[in-house]
Structure 1
């Protein structure tokens, strides 16, 4: 590894990255500890706003489930931080890169091998904790429906799908980085954006059926309500489908998927078992509210804008030798000595380093992103209350909070930082209550 000179850009990057990583770690530990203390402190009693709707046993189950997930989160935090350090400042990515150079020599095949090996090693490192979360935590609280055989089948299929889709895309991006000059990042962004739009269009009919069964909605009462709702809202979809979510989990959901004329409305079979027809209609009206307010389009535009800015930044960073050495990687010096740019021969390394560093920086934007997401949820709720029955949406949310063991007493600071959806007490306070007892105590 190259030794950075005192006060060099390389050393400053090393120190800055280490400081941000420590700050992120301490912040996440502080937030997690607040959440654990707050939930545990309120475990013994159902909040007054929910006392007539949620049994104490269900409230305590939600608290215990939240605390169990927090313990897993603490382990995940330690492992992910250690893995990030191992890949960067401790030289793991550099060692993998150099080893593959020795075995395969320089070229696109070596770059693809580096991306594939990094993905495989990272996936294997996270596998034990994922298994524990699924077969211990989810199992203990009655949510896991996966069998080891189905879990293995999902793993094999997702790996194959990822390879079939990801490797050609990665090869094209790497080729653009190597051959399209200083503006490679613009061409790469165009390819990436086009690929994401294509994937949104193909996902409902090509990819999703590889993992789940989708059958047309047969419940006539729900179908009539949903069809009338969509007509009132001026929304059209290719079909109404029920997904066999119960094969994998007891959690319930409903969502829109697809793009343009390929949009589908999908209900988990667990959702249809848990909610009455008017409640299902209200939940769907909430999802339609996102479309009415163009939340999906705005988020997509925002994502594309941020990805363009990120790739432009990478386009500059990838030309700086200190970007590599400051994060523990030796760039291909033979290319540099021959007069080539710092990017030449280091395309995959630049991509991976950037992918590793960006989450550390973007973590501190989480409160802002969470705020906008919660705002959108309130708008969608208001739309649903206007187009369907607000009381039905409130009762549906109460049922889903209880059945999914979502805590009713999260820590407010933790909520502000992480929650993409408003906590129950804030959300239900803005809706017509299913019973008079909910409203007076909700604020």
Structure 2
């Protein structure tokens, strides 16, 4: 295979991926007007259902526009030898390969973010605002952007620099050291995400003593789940949508409730949601997901080590000087079909785990409050109650609301 053939293979992968996504979106959109299943008839009244349909259609049109803009921009960048010009620009500052890579990716990421920020702004302050979800302010929006940039520079940049250093020092065996680095970082983030990352964006406060805390502690004790940390996060500063999640291990594990969840659900419903989260912990789903992620990362890095030395990857993108960062771009595109397949497997396992966690909540607490909480959360987020099965198979990490309600009621 020569560089020209590889170039058009990369282009083909990008275009085919775009077409498949748009076909799935189109299939899903055809179900927007379907009649609500009898089991979910109490989720929306007629006016609310019309609002949810409008929300889905608005988002679908917006998604089609942004995706089309993105693929056109990407193709123009490829055919105009954009990677070559950015690489030359980075090399005009330094000969150090690590600094060249950092400048290169910095320019690519900053340019991409500048071009997509107007879409993000429109999504937040026009679409989400129109349907009553947005609670963010312009100040919060730009502060989030700035914090995200800084995290990408310091954390992402540091990891990239160390991996390139491993590559230069150990050659084709760099993937072993890179895998170890990513594993340590992943474990660290899983342990301390709530303490180190979340406070940069949200305020967390311990759940106050009262009926809810007592009910949660009583349930946790009944299933042998030691829980000392229950926090409330101010999700309402950005959106009316509600959530709850479990994080950490051992003494660092904690349950975090969005204040919007507390405002929208009653005590039994909140305990049922937490019972579901405890089910994930008890059934070892968190450990499975972490182990699977690390194994897939190791596989990806190993395959990368087999190809990264080939100058063909750089030549395919129009860059005459072979380098790790250019090879990484080409490899990322070539690997994307494999990534899609592993993603399908992980989504399948995730949906299976959701059933197991639901069953755990049903067996150790009750099914009715979990069903009512799921329906309320779907209603409050104007969720799609009738998605196309192919779209669910490809994209959903959770079963549909109808599937979960049927399972809980069985």
Query: TM-score by structure 1 length?
Result: 0.87
**Separation of aligned partners in 1, 2:333 and 2:117:** 19
- What does residue 350 of structure 1 align with? 327
1:347, CA displacement in angstroms?
2.0
Aligned to 1:4: none
Pick aligned residue for 1:25 from 6, 18, 30: 18
Contact kept in structure 2, 1:289 and 1:383, CA below 8 Å: yes
Q: CA RMSD in A?
A: 1.9
In the TM superposition, residue 89 of structure 1 has moved relative to its aligned partner by 5.0
Query: What is residue 37 of structure 1 aligned with on the other side?
Result: 30
Distance 1:84 1:258, change over 3 A: farther
SS at match of 2:92: helix
- Is the Cα–Cα contact under 8 Å of residues 189 and 311 in structure 1 kept in the other structure? yes
Matched-pair contact (CA < 8 Å) for 2:13–2:333: no
Aligned residue pairs total 410
Deviation at 1:156, TM superposition (A): 1.4
How far off is 1:141 after superposition? Answer: 0.7
Residues 1:220 and 2:197 aligned together? no
Q: Which runs of 5+ in 2 are unaligned?
A: none
In terms of Rg, which structure is larger?
1
Counterpart for residue 160 of structure 2: 170
* Stretch deviating more after TM superposition (225-234 or 134-143): 225-234
Structure 2 partner of 1:130: 120
Instruction: Give SS of 2:256's match.
Output: strand
Taking a change above 3 Å as real, the CA distance of residues 305 and 86 of structure 1, as seen in their structure-2 partners, is farther
Offset of 1:366 from its aligned partner? Answer: 4.2
- Quick check: 1:115–1:352 contact (8 Å CA) kept in 2? no
Offset of residue 310 of structure 1: 0.7
Residue 329 (structure 1) aligns with: 318
**Would the aligned equivalents of 1:204 and 1:257 in 2 still touch at CA under 8 Å?**
yes
Whole-Å Cα distance in 1 between the matches of residues 21 and 71 of structure 2? Answer: 11
Partners of 2:337 and 2:111 lie apart in 1 by 20
Q: Name the structure 2 match of 1:254.
A: 244
Distance 1:245 1:256, change over 3 A: same
1:303–1:195 CA distance, 2 compared to 1 (3 A) = same
72 and 366 in structure 1: CA distance in 2 versus 1, 3 angstrom threshold? farther
Contact 1:20 1:361 in 2 (8 A): no
Residues in 2 aligned to 1:321 and 1:107: alpha-carbon distance in whole angstroms? 15
CA contact (8 A) 2:313 2:326 kept: no
Give the Å deviation of 1:357.
4.3
Measured in 2, the distance between the counterparts of 1:423 and 1:179 equals 49
Distance in 2 (CA, whole Å) between partners of 1:155 and 1:97 is 25
Which structure 1 residue ranges, 5 or more long, are not aligned?
A: 1-7, 333-341, 433-438
With normalisation by structure 2, the TM-score equals: 0.94
Q: CA deviation at 1:388?
A: 1.1
Q: In the alignment, which residue of structure 1 is the partner of 2:354?
A: 377
Deviates more, 1:229-238 or 1:205-214: 229-238
Q: Deviations over 1:42-89 (max 9, x none)?
A: 2xx543222244312222222221222211221232133234434545
Please say if residues 108 and 175 of structure 1, whose CA atoms lie closer than 8 Å, have aligned partners that are also in contact: yes
Alignment of 1:36-435 (within 5 A): 36-39=29-32, 41-42=33-34, 45-88=35-78, 90-218=80-208, 220-326=210-316, 328-332=317-321, 346-432=323-409
Aligned-residue offset at 1:360: 5.0
Q: 1:13 to 1:361 in 2, by over 3 A?
A: farther
Deviations 1:371-401 (A, max 9, x none): 2221111111111111111001001001111
Cα offset for 1:329?
3.4
Tell me by how many angstroms 1:237 deviates. 3.6
Task: Please give the alpha-carbon distance, in whole angstroms, between the structure 1 residues aligned to 2:306 and 2:107.
Answer: 26
Secondary structure of the structure 2 residue equivalent to 1:105: coil
Q: Is the 8 A contact 1:378 1:427 kept in 2?
A: yes
**Which range moved further: 62-71 or 300-309?**
62-71
Is the contact made by 2:28 and 2:388 (CA closer than 8 Å) also made in structure 1?
yes
Q: 1:104 to 1:160 in 2, by over 3 A?
A: same
Query: Using the alignment, how far apart are the partners of 1:243 and 1:48 within structure 2?
Result: 35
